[in-house]
């Protein structure tokens, strides 16, 4: 919040690009999706505007309220959106902000210096996708003005409705059920996002309130320690190896980088990066700079202090990030987002900035704190040894299975096609479902791998243990690309890896386990968009000779309405995949022409991983607390 706007906000910078009709016609183009995720994006989009005001140094507090009816209200104590008449448009600037696509200082190039915003689409898109939206502004500290819109269209002028003493902006909106599949907000989703934003903007207070139920639920986030406290939070369910979080920060040519990290005694890597407060799960230059610098600095230190001998092999990147929790947050102008989901930072100068800050900061820190150095070195050398053991275990596994079955697990029903771009593997929980899937599939392109064996706690396992696990080993062999540092995405035998499990608690667990496993040991498979979750139907309705399937409760209710009265025995609720015969399974879940599948994103995987750490980690207290607080959510916390 130290940044100052050097240029004055020029109302003429607001650019006119397109009308709001386009947004309502193709909402996915503007907010990515009209699913429950898109619903939450509306809130982030509005909050980001208030955070921009905080970054500019004019706002210290943001309130987010979920009101009865799933109406959202966001207010800040900033300067208030300018209320004067816009010189080019001839209407108030407030109205321009809400009705002109891409309006707002951040698109003019000279407004806010560092722009947030998930897709940078702004308030007008939220307005277009809301049944109604009201904005109240106190800009001059005297007059409170208000304007109301319905589905993007102004219903009133910007009118004076009373007096005010403190400046600020308040936006209240009701997402349009004509647009969104789902209009119920999930407290935890907003809570996680707002907590994260509070960590990223040290000292900014964000208050979230849920006023829908009888009891008020509230969080008051304000972290003076910023991303250092974020690392402490991530490590709260783990055992840190050293007491202080290392914090390194600096800037060059208008770009800033903040880095915080701490090792724990676990084996998972927990590095999260952000550019302009936007999460970059695909990584990019800031993350690369951090990883290469960390590897180089620790290797140099280990050699200099004779922890490594001259002809010892060096430590690898995966060795120095084992058990590491880190946050990298950079701010820059003209951030270039690349990659499959546009969440990978492409600006090369940021790599140099992060790397040189690390060289200065971490080298000094190591020399000044020898006990920290010793702890870190013993951790990373241990990791390197485990990596070597894993390599041997993998080779042994390969040799053994090559003798037994040509390198493929016995239970795999493989497909005939060999081009991975054309093939799919269904990983199926349960023997009866596996049997149906084998009979119902298209054997040319679809392989089926039934899962059996005991669940492994991936949280506490390194690669060498994973190879020996009877549940995961067949998965690794069938996919053919190795795991961990040695995972080679180009060797994958299928480009669609589909997790298929029941819609119950056990199914939830297996999805969570597999997602966490893919996230930790085969991450590029997720980054490349190769991992999917099958969506079997929940209901079957038979009317006369026609059969209908419903994949959600909502679809089910819709179908009942559409079909009119049906006898009770016409409705079948599927409790598990095993209840479907091979033909039904093909029609509903396997047939590429008719099925729906969810493609797993890095966000999904991160959420599964976090839930998994809590549920499977060493520390009992936070797990118990998590389950108590989230008892009613645990069953669906992982999609
Ligand atoms: F975008 C929005 F309308 F959705 C929205 C904007 C929502 C919320 C909750 C807050 C805001 C917002 C905008 N808070 N503060 C501002 N500030 C300005 O728009 C502003 C005010 C004054 C000046 C100036 O140069 O005097 C410049 C700006 C950009």
Give the pLDDT of residue 613. Answer: 67
Domain-located, residue 564 = no
Give the pLDDT of residue 616. Answer: 61
Beta bridge partners of 256: 251, 331
On whether both 197 and 260 belong to a single domain, the answer is: no
Give the pLDDT of residue 110. Answer: 33
Which of 50, 65, 96, 122 should be mutated for ligand 1, with most atoms under 8 A from CB?
A: 50
On whether both 300 and 446 belong to a single domain, the answer is: no
- Cα–ligand 1 centroid distance for 115 (angstroms): 12
User: Phi first, then psi: what are they for 540, rounded to 5°?
Assistant: -125, 130
Which of these three, 190, 221, 252, is where a domain ends?
Answer: 221
Give the pLDDT of residue 336. Answer: 95
Give the pLDDT of residue 139. Answer: 95
Which of these three, 221, 243, 259, is where a domain ends?
Answer: 221
On whether both 350 and 418 belong to a single domain, the answer is: no
Which of these three, 193, 221, 249, is where a domain ends?
Answer: 221
Domain-located, residue 514 = yes
Which residues lie below 8 Å from residue 561, measured CB to CB, with a gap of 6+?
A: none
State the total domains in the chain. 3
Domain-located, residue 39 = yes
The count of other CB atoms within 10 Å of the CB of residue 474 is: 22
Round to the nearest angstrom and report the end-to-end CA distance of the chain.
36
On whether both 190 and 133 belong to a single domain, the answer is: yes
Which of 61, 72, 78, 83 should be mutated for ligand 1, with most atoms under 8 A from CB?
A: 78
117 CB within 6 A, ligand 1: no
Q: How many whole angstroms separate alpha carbon 245 and alpha carbon 228?
A: 6
Q: How many whole angstroms separate alpha carbon 69 and alpha carbon 596?
A: 30
- Closest CA to ligand 1's atom 26: 9
- Cα–ligand 1 centroid distance for 84 (angstroms): 13
Q: How many whole angstroms separate alpha carbon 329 and alpha carbon 275?
A: 6
Nearest atom of ligand 1 to the alpha carbon of 81: 19
On whether both 185 and 140 belong to a single domain, the answer is: yes
User: Phi first, then psi: what are they for 466, rounded to 5°?
Assistant: -60, -40
On whether both 267 and 288 belong to a single domain, the answer is: yes
- What angle (nearest 5°) sits at the alpha carbon of residue 507, between those of residues 505 and 508? 60
Q: Are 212 and 67 in contact (CB under 8 A)?
A: yes
Give the pLDDT of residue 401. Answer: 61
Whether pTM exceeds 0.85: no
On whether both 87 and 102 belong to a single domain, the answer is: yes
On whether both 236 and 254 belong to a single domain, the answer is: yes
- Closest CA to ligand 1's atom 14: 50
Q: Quick one: tokens of 35? A: 């699913």
Per the listing, tokens 């971490």 go with: 362
DSSP string computed for 594-613: T--EEEPPHHHHHHHHHHHH
| CATH number assigned to the domain comprising residue 322 | 3.30.230.10
User: Which range of residues forms the domain containing residue 494?
Assistant: 408-536+599-633
Domain-located, residue 236 = yes
User: Phi first, then psi: what are they for 203, rounded to 5°?
Assistant: 90, -15
Give the pLDDT of residue 457. Answer: 67
Q: Are 429 and 511 in contact (CB under 8 A)?
A: no
Longest Cα–Cα distance of the chain, Å, equals 83
Nearest-10 Cα torsion for 186, 42, 508, 631:
-10
Distances (CA, A) of 85 to 8, 92, 345, 518: 16, 4, 38, 54
Half-sphere exposure of 586 (CA within 13 A, CB side): 12
Q: How many whole angstroms separate alpha carbon 535 and alpha carbon 499?
A: 9
123 CB within 6 A, ligand 1: yes
Nearest atom of ligand 1 to the alpha carbon of 62: 9
79 CB within 6 A, ligand 1: yes
Nearest atom of ligand 1 to the alpha carbon of 126: 4
Distances (CA, A) of 571 to 181, 267, 557, 567, 581: 23, 48, 12, 8, 16
Domain-located, residue 151 = yes
On whether both 201 and 178 belong to a single domain, the answer is: yes
Give the pLDDT of residue 453. Answer: 67
Give the pLDDT of residue 11. Answer: 37
- Closest CA to ligand 1's atom 20: 81
Phi-psi region of 120 (alpha: psi -120 to 50; beta: other; left: phi over 0): left
Q: Quick one: tokens of 625? A: 């607390």
Nearest-10 Cα torsion for 452, 456, 461, 467:
-10
On whether both 481 and 438 belong to a single domain, the answer is: yes
- The pLDDT tens digits of the residues spanning 330-343 come to 999 999 999 877 88
427 CB within 6 A, ligand 1: no
- Cα–ligand 1 centroid distance for 78 (angstroms): 7
| CATH number assigned to the domain comprising residue 29 | 3.30.565.10
Q: How many whole angstroms separate alpha carbon 591 and alpha carbon 636?
A: 26
Q: Quick one: tokens of 385? A: 């040894």
- Cα–ligand 1 centroid distance for 569 (angstroms): 57
Domain-located, residue 67 = yes
The count of other CB atoms within 10 Å of the CB of residue 137 is: 26
On whether both 349 and 436 belong to a single domain, the answer is: no
Domain-located, residue 485 = yes
Q: Quick one: tokens of 249? A: 């920060």
Distances (CA, A) of 424 to 58, 148, 516, 587: 53, 50, 20, 16
| CATH number assigned to the domain comprising residue 477 | 3.40.50.670
Positions in the chain short of pLDDT 50: 1-17, 103-120, 405, 620-621, 623-639
Q: How many whole angstroms separate alpha carbon 189 and alpha carbon 209?
A: 13
172 CB within 6 A, ligand 1: no
Domain-located, residue 393 = no
On whether both 309 and 446 belong to a single domain, the answer is: no
Give the pLDDT of residue 86. Answer: 83
């Amino acid at each position: 919040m130290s940044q100052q706007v050097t240029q004055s906000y020029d109302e003429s910078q607001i650019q006119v690009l397109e009308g709001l009709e386009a947004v309502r016609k193709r909402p996915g183009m503007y907010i990515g999706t009209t699913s429950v995720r898109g619903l939450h994006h509306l809130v982030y989009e509005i909050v980001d505007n208030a955070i921009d005001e905080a970054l500019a140094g004019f706002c210290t507090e943001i309130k987010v309220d979920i009101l009865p009816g799933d109406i959202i209200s966001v207010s800040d104590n900033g300067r208030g959106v300018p209320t004067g008449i816009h010189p080019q448009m001839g209407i108030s600037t407030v109205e321009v902000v809400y009705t002109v696509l891409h309006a707002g200082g951040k698109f003019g190039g000279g407004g806010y210096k560092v722009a947030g915003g998930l897709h940078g689409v702004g308030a007008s898109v939220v307005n277009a996708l809301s049944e109604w939206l009201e904005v109240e502004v106190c800009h001059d500290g005297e007059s409170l003005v208000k304007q109301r819109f319905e589905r993007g269209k102004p219903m009133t002028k910007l009118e004076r409705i009373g007096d005010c003493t403190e400046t600020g902006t308040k936006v209240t909106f009701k997402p349009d059920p004509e647009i969104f599949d789902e209009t119920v907000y999930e407290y935890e989703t907003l809570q996680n996002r707002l907590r994260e934003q509070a960590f990223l903007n040290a000292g900014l207070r964000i208050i979230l309130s849920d006023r829908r139920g009888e009891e008020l639920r509230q969080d008051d986030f304000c972290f003076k320690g910023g991303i250092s406290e974020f690392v402490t939070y991530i490590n709260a369910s783990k055992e840190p190896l050293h007491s202080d979080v290392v914090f390194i920060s600096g800037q060059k040519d208008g770009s800033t980088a903040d880095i915080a990290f701490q090792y724990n005694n676990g084996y998972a890597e927990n590095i999260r990066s952000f550019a302009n407060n936007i999460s970059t799960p695909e990584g990019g230059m800031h993350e690369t700079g951090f990883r290469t610098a960390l590897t180089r600095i620790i290797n140099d230190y280990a050699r200099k202090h004779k922890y490594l001998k001259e002809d010892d092999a060096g430590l690898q990147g995966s060795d120095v990030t084992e058990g590491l929790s880190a946050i990298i947050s950079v701010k820059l102008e003209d951030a270039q987002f690349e990659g499959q989901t546009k969440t990978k930072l492409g600006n090369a100068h940021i790599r140099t900035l992060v790397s040189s800050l690390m060289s200065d900061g971490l080298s000094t820190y190591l020399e000044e704190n020898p006990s920290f150095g010793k702890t870190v070195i013993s951790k990373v050398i241990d990791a390197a040894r485990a990596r070597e053991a894993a390599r041997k275990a993998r080779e042994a596994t390969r040799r053994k299975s090559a003798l037994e079955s040509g390198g493929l697990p016995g239970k795999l029903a493989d497909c005939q096609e060999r081009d991975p771009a054309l093939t799919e593997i269904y990983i199926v929980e349960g023997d009866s479902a596996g049997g149906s899937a084998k009979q119902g599939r298209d054997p040319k392109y679809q392989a089926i791998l039934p899962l059996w064996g005991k669940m492994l706690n991936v949280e506490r396992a390194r690669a060498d243990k994973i190879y020996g696990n009877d549940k995961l080993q067949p998965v690794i062999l069938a996919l053919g690309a190795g795991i961990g540092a040695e995972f080679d995405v180009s060797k994958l035998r299928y480009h669609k890896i589909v997790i298929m499990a029941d819609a119950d608690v056990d199914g939830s667990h297996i999805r969570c386990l597999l997602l966490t496993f893919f996230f930790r040991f085969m991450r590029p498979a997720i980054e490349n968009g190769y991992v999917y979750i099958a969506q079997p139907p929940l209901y079957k309705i038979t009317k006369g000779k026609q059969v209908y399937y419903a994949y959600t409760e909502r679809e089910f209710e819709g179908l009942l309405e559409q079909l009119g009265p049906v006898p009770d025995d016409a409705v079948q609720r599927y409790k598990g995949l095993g209840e479907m015969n091979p033909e039904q399974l093909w029609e509903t879940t396997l047939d590429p022409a008719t099925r729906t599948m969810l493609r797993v994103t890095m966000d999904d995987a991160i959420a599964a991983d976090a839930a998994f750490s809590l549920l499977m980690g060493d520390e009992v207290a936070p797990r118990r607390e998590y389950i108590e607080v989230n008892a009613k959510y645990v069953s669906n916390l992982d999609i």
